[in-house]
Amino acid sequence: MGKERIENAFLEKQSANENLFVPYIMAGDGGLEILEKRIEFLKKCGAAAIELGIPFSDPVADGPTIQEAGIRALENGTTLTAVLEKLNSFQEKRTVPIILMTYLNPIYVYGVEKFASDCREAGVDGIIIPDLPMEEEAFIAESLKAHSIAFIRLAAMTSPIERLVELANRTEGFLYAVAVTGTTGARTVHEENVKAYLQLLKENSSVPVLAGFGVSSVQQAQDLGTYCDGVIVGSKIVELFYNGKTEEVKSLIKGSISNEYILG
C-alpha cells in the first residue's frame, strides 16, 4: 500500500499504453454511504487512482463547483474521522489507490501523528495538502514517511524554475502540476505556456507528472497528456455525479485514457 501501490497502479496503466486519469470526488457529497460504490465505479471506468476531498469550511484552492460539494458534504455531517472510518470499513476489498486531498487545519486539529497512523490503518495511499508551503512541511512529511504514505506535492506555474525543480525532486507517487493560475474549475482553454511548464516538470521528476485544475473534457485531457503522463479531473466529475450523469463520467474517463482517441 502507500507509495508502492500508487507506483504499481500507474505502471500497470502505462504498460497497457493508457494515459493516467485521476478523478476527484468530494467525500460525503451525496452521503458517505455511497462512497464505496462510487470508488468501485470509478475504478471500473479506468481510474488509475482516486483523489478524495475532505470537506472544509475555507477551501482556498477550490472553485465554486467543489466549494458547493464541500458545503453539501458538511451539511451531511461529513468529518475527517467519519471519512477515515468509512474507508477503513472496505479497505480490504479496495484495489485502487486512494489519495486524500485535505487542507492543513483538519489535520492539525486531528493530530499529525494520529492522522498519519489512521490514514495507514484506513488504506490511504497518498496525501495532498494544497495550503502547506514546502518550507513548512517537515513536521508532517516525517509522519507520512514513517507510515509509507506518499506526500504528493503541487507545483504552480507562477513558481520560479528553482522551486519547481525542488518540488519535482521532493514529491512522492506523482507530481501534481497545477495547469492554470487560480482556483479549480472547468475551463475551455489552457494557457499557451502550460506546455513548456509541463515539459520542464517532466524533465525534472522521477515520478509521473499529472496536470490538474481546469481539465473538463476528453480533448483537454488528451492535449495536456501529450506533455505529461495524464490528468486529474475534479470539478467536471463532481458536477456530473451531482447531476446523475454517470454515463458521461464513464465516457470522460475512457476517452481520456485511450491513446487511440482522435481529436475532433
Q: Is residue 263 part of a domain?
A: no
Domain that holds residue 87: 3-255
Q: Is residue 176 part of a domain?
A: yes
**Separation CA 180–CA 171 (nearest Å):** 19
**Separation CA 85–CA 253 (nearest Å):** 28
- Residue-wise pLDDT for 178-230, tens only, equals 987 544 444 444 456 888 899 999 999 999 999 998 888 999 999 898 999 99
Q: Distance of CA 20 to CAs 92, 104, 135, 142, Å?
A: 24, 27, 29, 28
Q: Quote the distance between the C-alpha of residue 174 and its chain's center.
A: 10
* Secondary structure element (H or E) that encloses residue 22, with its range: strand 20-26
Catalytic machinery residues: 51, 62
Q: Distance of CA 263 to CAs 218, 221, 259, Å?
A: 9, 11, 11
Q: Is residue 68 part of a domain?
A: yes
Neighbours of 255 (CB within 10 A): 18
Q: Is residue 88 part of a domain?
A: yes
- Residue-wise pLDDT for 159-177, tens only, equals 999 999 999 999 999 999 9
Q: Is residue 264 part of a domain?
A: no
- Residue-wise pLDDT for 66-113, tens only, equals 999 999 999 999 999 999 999 999 999 999 999 999 999 999 999 999
Please tell me the chain's helix, strand, coil percentages from 3-state DSSP, rounded to the nearest 5: 50, 15, 40
Total domains, the chain: 1
Q: Do residues 219 and 241 make contact, with C-beta atoms less than 8 angstroms apart?
A: no
Q: Distance of CA 92 to CAs 27, 88, 116, 129, 173, Å?
A: 19, 8, 19, 26, 21
28, amino acid identity: G
Note the pTM of the prediction, 2 decimals.
0.93
CATH of the domain at 163: 3.20.20.70
